[in-house]
Amino acid sequence: MILVIAGATFREALRSRTFAGLLVIYAVAVALSRAVGWISATDGDIVTTDVVFSLQSVIGVLVAVATGTALMHTEILQKTLYTVLSRPLPRWRFVVGKFLGLAGALAVGQLAMLAIGLGYLWATGAPVQRWLLLAGLLTMVEVLVMAAVSLCWTALSTPLLAAVLGLATYALGHAVATLPELMHHLSGPQQYVACALASLVPNLGMFTYRNQAVYGTPLPLGDLLQSLVYGAAWIALLVAITIAMFRRKQL
């Protein structure tokens, strides 16, 4: 039954106007990224590549937040959720199926973005290195973590508030990555408080290898595995929280 729900969610997400619209926006933004390289005082190819991969992260997260927060709300509005849960189906299977379907659609979207971005860089003569593929993979993990964040916030609040909280989590997740650089400005107790609060938000800096990939800096295998395990752990935790909240939710 999980696979049935996942398949239906996958098809629904791919047919979403928001999903398709943001992919179109990404393609247009990539096409315009060359202009940023032209006006830059540094290497235009490097700037263009950096912009292309930054867009993959930003647009990918927007797709994850917009689609993830709308999924459950759409089910309730269309009354299909009640039909599914009227069967002897544990709610955890429904949540897991929803996440797997959303994750599959987002993975397809990320692969499409990566293909568009690399194709554009190749067509414009910018160097395309194998490390960029690895950067795209880690960006995909970042987007999947944000998809889990979106589902979790949706179980706790309204779709609009969940979208706002999801974007706030994205901003905080990248701010957490800069915390080690700021620790020397804090005293002992403040450092402990800052670390405790930072642990409540996924450190999205674990997945931002794109800046190094632009310059061809190799990523050690240990760091790659650490990022993948870190992302998987956060996804599992957030899905578990979503399941716990969804079980208590009055439908």
Buried b (16+ CB within 10 A) or exposed e, 166-189: bbebbebbbebeebeeeeeeeeee
Q: Residue 46: what pLDDT?
A: 80
What average pLDDT is seen over the chain?
Answer: 82
Greatest mean pLDDT among 66-75, 189-198, 226-235 lies in 226-235
Summarised one tens digit per residue, pLDDT across range 184-218 is 556 667 667 767 776 788 999 899 888 888 888 88
- Residue 17 vs residue 221, higher pLDDT: 221
Q: Residue 93: what pLDDT?
A: 80
Greatest mean pLDDT among 34-48, 115-129, 158-172, 220-234 lies in 220-234
Q: Residue 185: what pLDDT?
A: 59
Q: Residue 14: what pLDDT?
A: 82
Q: Structure pTM?
A: 0.87
